[in-house]
Each structure stands twice: as C-alpha cells, then as structure tokens.
Structure 1
Amino acid sequence: MPQTAQATADDTSPPRKASPEPLDVKKPGLFSRRRILGPVDKEYGDAALLVHSFVTGLIDAASFANWGVFVGMQTGNTVILGLSTAGLPDNPHAWTTTLVSLASFLLGAFLTFRSTSLVSPKGITNNRLWLTTILLVQALLVIISAAIVSANLIPHNRPGYPDDEHKAGVINNILIVSLFPPLGFQSGMQIATSRLLGYNELPVNVLTSTYCDLMGDAKLFALHNVKRNRRAAAVVLLFAGAVISGWLMRSQGGLQSVLWVAAGIKLLVALLTLTVHPGKTE
C-alpha cells in the first residue's frame, strides 16, 4: 500500500484524549498534619529574630541591673568571670553567677543544634512543629523565670528602686543563682535558632560582631542593602529593649514586669509561627 494511503488509514483512528490538566493543590488546613509537620517559609524569619533582639535588650539589662551578670551576652560574663579571680568586682558570687549563666547558655545552644539535626535533619524550616516547639520552650523558660520573681522566691531589687542600697544584699545572696539556668538556657537556644534559620548577620544576643560587620560593609551607604538594614535594626531594637527595661524597673512593675513582657513577646512569636506564618509554595 502506498505510504500516503497508509497515512490516510492511520488518520481514521480515534483521536487521542488530551491529558487532564493538573488540579489545583488544595491548601492544607490551619492545623492539619500536612501543614504542622510541613516546611515553613523563612522569608520573614528575620522579623522574628529582630523581635528577639529587642527581648535580649529587655532581659539582659534587667539581669545586669539586678545581679551584675548577663544571661545572653556571654562576652561580658567571660570578662566578669576573669575579674572574679582577683576578687573583682565587689561581688562574692560573681564567679558562680557568671559560670552558671555561661554553662546554661552553652547547654541551650548545644542541645538546640543537636536535637534539630536529629528531628529535622533537612533544616529547621522543614518542620513547622519543631521550629514552633523551640520558640515555645524559650517562652516557657522566661515565663518560669517571671513566675519565680513574681513569687519573690529569689532576691531582686525593689520595684521602683533598681539602684538603692537594697541592691548589695541582692547580689550577696547565693539564691540568685537559681534564676540563671532557665534564662541562660533560653538565650543559648535563641542564638542557635538564628544560626539554624541562616541569618548569620542577626546573632540576636550580641552586637560586637554586628557593629564590626556594619563598618566593614562595602555597601554601607547603598540605598538598598538588606543585611545592613537587618544589622542596624538589631542594634536599635536591642538598645530600645534596654531603655524600656530600665524604665520598667523604675516603675512599680519592677523586674517582674520586664520578664512578663519578654515572655509575652516570645510566646506571641511562637504562636504566630504556628498559626500565621505561611508555608513554602509547593
């Protein structure tokens, strides 16, 4: 049979059905398993970390004003620990408080990194529930600290008088050591979270490297520079947190008001991560 006739015969076969167009992927429900255990877009992760920079200013300012020790800025604690070997500053428990705070911080960071590598080996943003859990634990630890202070279970400066003669008695009391494990631990978790999210320009707890990176930025004065903006915002927010912390301690709310505000902010960030933060586009 000629080739043209064969082609004509083939043309009489039923036409092929077009492959169906893919259906739109149904968005998972707010508390569905797919969403809770699924990935989370870290596009706005820097906003959460900037809020935590503000919290660092709140807590560290209050901690230093009350007990002469930091819970997040471990460079300061390392210096104080060194001074304590010579009996400086005039604080009999300086070496104990700084050592407990530093050890708690290191343990918090260590366990956050190790547990994340086990629970979410593909990255912290690939498991919304785990990211939320890490943030909730941080909030819970600050809540515990605020409750301890509110119940007057440890000595602290009187509300409205953060710098009076009562302060010497506070610093000399060894019971103050009991508050540093939860605060130091959550600070370690906090900075580990910033690293796990990939925002190395937002160390959250410290500003020394941030200041250095700002000054070394070749595009410091460029109109559009996202990393510079993040670093500058972290400086402003941490400073603002310290300012507000000081005024809260001078108010009748005192130290407990600082800790409750910090706890509330951390809790809000965690809940927003679980309920509002969008997932990655599949």
Structure 2
Amino acid sequence: MANSNDDTRKANQRDHEYEGNPLLAGISSHYITFASPEEAHKETYLSRAQQVKRYLTADITTRWADLVLIVCFALSGLIDSGAYNAYECFTSMMANPNAQTGNTIFAALGVSNLPVSVPRYAWTKSVCSIVAFLLGALLTSNFHRVFGERKRWVLAASFAVQAAMIAISAHLVQLGRSSGSPVKDPSLTGFPADPGFPWLDLVPISMLSFQAAGKVVASRVLQYNALPSVVLTTLYNDLMSDPGLLTGGLTGNVGRNRRLGGLLFYVGGAVAGGAFVRSSAGFSGLLWTAAALKLVVILAWLLWREEAEQEDGEDA
C-alpha cells in the first residue's frame, strides 16, 4: 500500500515538472495545446498591428519640438517670398509683419477699385487668401482637437495635407495653368497689353494659404508661445522687449534664442525664395522644394520621441 502511494506521488510530481515545458509537453496530454500555423500567424500579425497603432497614437514630447517650428519659419519665408512675387498678395500670417492684415486692407481698397495701379479684381486674391487661411485654421484646429493634439499620426497627417497642397500648386505653376510670375506682352502701341485677370491663380493662392494655417496650429498645440506664428510684428516686439535680451550668454535665454532663430530662419528662407524665383527652377521649383522639405518634417514627427519616454527618463 505504501509503494502504491509513493508511485502516485512521483507521477504527480513528474506531471508538475512537465507543466509549461513545451519540450516535454508530449509526456502528459493534459498540458498539450496545439495552434495551427494560420492562427499563430494571425496572432503575430495582430500583435504587430497593435504595436504600430500604439506607436502612431502616442503623444509626442514637446521637448526640442521648437526646432521643427523654426524650420517651418524658413519654409514660410521660402513660400511667401515666391508667392508674393507671383501673385502680389500674402498667403500666410507669417508672410510679412502685417500679412493677413495687409490682405484685409487690399480687399477693403478693392471695393473702391483702389489702388488704381493694380489690375481690376486683384482684390479677389486677398479675399481668397483670407478665407482659405481661416478655413485652414478652423479645420486643422478641429482635426487636432478631435483626434488628439500631439499624436504622432495627427501631426504627420496635418503636414502631409500641407505638402500635398504645395505639390498641387507647384504642378499648376509648372504646367503654366497659374501665372507663376505675372508677365504682360507688349501691345502694338508699345505698352503692356492687359491679358485679363488670371482667375486660376486663386487655386494655388487658396492652397498655399490653407496649408499655412496648419503651421500656426502646430505652434499652438505644441505650446511654444516664444515662437508666435501669427505675425512677425509680435516676434519683433517680444524679442526687443525681452529684459534678458543682452544677458544670459548664448544658452541662458532660451526664449530669446527661439525668437531670434525663427526670425533668422524666416529671413533666410525669404532670401532663398528670391534666389529660386530668379533661377531656372523658378517658382515651381521653389514649391517642389518646399513640398519635399515638408516630407522631412513629416518624417521627423513620425520618429519623434513620445511623451512617456521623456517622463521615464526624467524620473530615472
């Protein structure tokens, strides 16, 4: 009887040792579980899809994100200088110290057919730019608000729309469907002939103004108030009003450095835009370059560290 109890105890101990060991699972059918290759592949696929979803829906950290916004200042200067040269209106709130304020004045004067030196209906460009910018700000801000202000995919999608609109504008200019740079052929009297108002110019003007609003919204959701994207007048004022403008060394005044960096990058982009327009690449080449640089910004958002990683590093 004692031997029987010992045998039973040893058998139970042996089965316990086999539990969870896939190499010995065949010893005890109680612990055998089989999964078909299709089910195993499905589980692996779902696991990877969940990882990708989690990665794309994570909030990015705002740390060092000001560097991307400063690059956006350069892109604004690049696009705005070329657009004003081509269409004689502003396409961005960052385009000029007065930007959409200037467009508002142009539109108001257009009611009285002023200034007399500009073509008839020229005011419609300014109106179109204002409406497109307002619509871009409305839709982009609500897009961020609904789907997540700082989620990776939301920021990437917003800038992807901006890149697409710039690329479409570049295509129209390249095909000659948009004026690019206004040129009037001489008439028989030797004076420039009136080619009529280029209504198709309103398409790229609208697209460039719409996408410009996305950069303004990005500066707000990333909470970098030291980089005001509304008008450069604010940036000039905040920079010169900073009590630590001449103190703090090179790295001791971060707000001053951001404002100064944004200003310098904007001016540099505007100078580059003028050089582009005068070169063989022209306005279309300028826009294609801007669209390509937007893709670099999209890649930056997709690779940016998430907020949780920053917090873990600070806790450590």
**Whole-angstrom distance in 2 between the partners of 1:215 and 1:228:** 9
Contact between 1:156 and 1:170, CA under 8 Å: does it hold in 2?
Answer: no
Q: Name the aligned partner's letter for residue 254 of structure 1.
A: G
Q: Which residue of 1 aligns with 2:282?
A: 254
Trace 1:176-255 onto structure 2 (pairs within 5 A).
176-204=201-229, 206-223=231-248, 224-255=252-283
Q: Find the residue that maps to 2:65 and give its secondary structure.
A: helix
- Stretches of structure 1 lacking an aligned partner (at least 5 in a row): 1-27
Match of 1:83 among 109, 116, 119: 109
The one of 136, 144, 150 aligned to 1:116: 144
CA distance in 1, matches of 2:244, 2:194: 50
Q: In 2, Cα distance between the equivalents of 1:95 and 1:212?
A: 30
Q: What is the CA–CA distance in structure 2 between the aligned matches of 1:190 and 1:94, rounded to whole Å? A: 26
Bigger radius of gyration, 1 or 2? 2
Q: CA RMSD in A?
A: 2.2
Question: Can you give the 5+ residue segments of structure 2 that lack an aligned partner in the other structure?
Answer: 1-47, 93-98, 186-191
Pick from 99, 112, 134 the counterpart of residue 158 of structure 2: 134
1:88 deviates by 2.6
Work out whether residues 184 and 195 of structure 2, in 8 Å CA contact, stay in contact via their aligned partners in 1: no
Deviation at 1:86, TM superposition (A): 3.3
The alpha-carbon deviation at position 205 of structure 1 amounts to 5.6
1:80-128 Cα offsets, whole Å, 9 max, x none, are: 22332332331312221100110000111111112221111xxx22x21
Q: Which amino acid aligns with 1:80?
A: F
**Aligned twin of 2:132:** 104
> Aligned partners of 1:39, 1:181: CA distance in 2, in Å?
31
- Where 1:32 maps in the other structure, the secondary structure is helix
Aligned to 1:54: 74
Could you tell me how far apart the structure 2 residues matched to 1:67 and 1:87 are? 18
1:116-162 CA-to-partner distances (Å, cap 9, x unmatched) read 21111xxx22x2111111111111111111111112222222xxxx8
SS at match of 1:43: coil
Q: If the length of structure 2 is used for normalisation, what is the TM-score?
A: 0.72
> Per the alignment, in what secondary structure is the counterpart of residue 64 of structure 2?
helix
Equivalent residue pairs, number? 244
Between the aligned partners of 2:243 and 2:196, the Cα distance in structure 1 is: 45
Tell me the SS of whatever aligns to 2:129.
helix
